[in-house]
Amino acid sequence: MTVLKMNTIKCVHLSSGVTMPLFGLGTFKIRGQDTVHQVLDAALAAGYRSFDTASVYRNEEDIGKSMQTLLPKYGLCRQEIFITSKLAPKDQGQGACREACLQSLSRLQCSYLDLFLIHWPGTHKLRPEDPHHKENRLGSWADMEQLHEEGKVKSIGVSNFLQHHLEELMKACSVKPAVLQIEFHPHLVQRDLLQWCQQHDVHFQAYSSLGTSNQDNKLLTDATVQDVANRVNRTPAQVLLRWAVQQGVGILPKSTNPNHIKENSDIFDFELGDQIMQELTTLSRDTHYCWDPSAVV
């Protein structure tokens, strides 16, 4: 995985041959046409060019509508932004995956997606130990390879897969996953998984880099994170995001606050020293603030 800089946007060159911004906007729980429009407007103004959504977020249609007016506002065309969406667990399996992707394209008013991910290694309503999970994952991937061949998706990948899920997929696929999107932050340093992805040229992209959005945010209020922020004269959020990108990890911070949206993108003009990086890494406590896929066979 090669990290390169295009103009002012730092990007990664994926194994699919596609160039993807290293940071983008996460849109989980951002709903309602007015809210979505305001958030995307602020993000585009701040220089964001990558936007991450999913079928289960229930905001694809609002994003699609907003982009129709916001891209001309900023003098941008579709090819200048990167849009990611994901396959819902209820739509796992060959045939269902294809139809779900086409529906996402319709809601987003796009002729193609830059990246399409299997959102979860399991299938909705199946028990975690059910062997049909594997069958459905591989069926979904067969559809995704076909969609990739047709140009409807430029890159394909997975979310919330662990190493055994990835190894199983690699043995069966014709097109390997270009991206793994997974929870990753100083309280959940998945070092072995990160190294596996680096060795196999699968870009490692983090979600929930800032923890949860509730008031009791144990990441942003972590004493070490706050101390580092004071030492480098940055916000705790900027420190957490810089810690990730300094390892070549993609990030998708979410916010509805225009000031925070701008602050979150302002992380490429400073570096954390080796000692600080180590201080943050040693905070790992194997804590998931979102979803833990380890039970899914």
Measured from the Cβ of residue 218, the count of other Cβ atoms closer than 10 Å reads 14
57 given a catalytic annotation: yes
| Complete DSSP assignment for the chain | -EEEEETTEEEEE-TTS-EEESB-EE-TT--SHHHHHHHHHHHHHTT--EEE--GGGT-HHHHHHHHHHHHHHTT--GGGSEEEEEE-GGG-STTHHHHHHHHHHHHHT-S-BSEEEE--SS-TTS-TT-THHHHHHHHHHHHHHHHHHTTSBS-EEEES--HHHHHHHHHH-SS--SEEEEE-BTTB--HHHHHHHHHTT-EEEEE-TT--SSS--TTTT-HHHHHHHHHHTS-HHHHHHHHHHTTT-EE----S-HHHHHHHH--SS----HHHHHHHHTT-----SS--GGG--
Give me the pLDDT at residue 5, please.
Answer: 41
User: pTM for this structure?
Assistant: 0.96
Instruction: Give per-residue pLDDT as tens, 63-106.
Output: 999 999 999 999 999 999 999 999 999 999 999 999 999 999 99
Give me the pLDDT at residue 248, please.
Answer: 97
Average pLDDT over the chain, rounded to an integer? 96
Which CATH number applies to 23-290? 3.20.20.100
Give me the pLDDT at residue 216, please.
Answer: 81
Average pLDDT on 204-223 reads: 91
Kindly list the domain boundaries of the chain, sorted by start residue: 23-290
Query: Which of 48, 57, 207, 289 is the catalytic position?
Result: 57
Residue 119 assigned to a binding site: yes
- pLDDT band for 6, please (50, 70, 90 cuts): very low
* Alpha carbon 6 to chain centroid, angstroms: 20
The answer, yes or no, to whether residue 212 has pLDDT greater than 90, is no
Give me the pLDDT at residue 2, please.
Answer: 47
Instruction: Give per-residue pLDDT as tens, 26-65.
Output: 999 999 999 999 999 999 999 999 999 999 999 999 999 9
Residue 289 identity: Y
Give me the pLDDT at residue 113, please.
Answer: 98
